[in-house]
Amino acid sequence: MFAKRTVKNQITLPKAIVSRFPGVEYFAVTAERGRIILEPVRHSRINEVWDKLEKLGITDQDVADAVQWARKTSPKRRR
């Protein structure tokens, strides 16, 4: 089976693969030894994170602001 990356960096997973993970909406994505690895993330865990963020009053904008701040203040990595 194949999955093609679009010009918008989107990938559609084959139905035969996705059907093996019923109820999974999110996948954790990592790269390892030249491979892309997708691991299913169960809703209960994601919901715990969203609930915690909501209880703390952290918004999407807060996260975006924090990322922007971190990118401005962190030293450039050497390649």
The residue segments making up the domain with residue 26 are 15-73
- The number of folded domains in the chain is 1
Residue 42 pLDDT class (50, 70, 90 cuts): confident
Amino acid identity, residue 62? D
3 lies in some domain: no
64 lies in some domain: yes
**Overall average pLDDT of the 13-38 stretch:** 92
**H helical segments located in the chain:** 15-18, 43-56, 60-73
Residue 27, C-beta contacts closer than 8 angstroms, at least 6 positions apart: 38, 39, 40, 41
pTM of the model: 0.49
44 lies in some domain: yes
8 lies in some domain: no
Q: CB–CB of 29/37 below 8 Å?
A: yes
Residue 5 pLDDT class (50, 70, 90 cuts): very high
**Overall average pLDDT of the 17-41 stretch:** 91
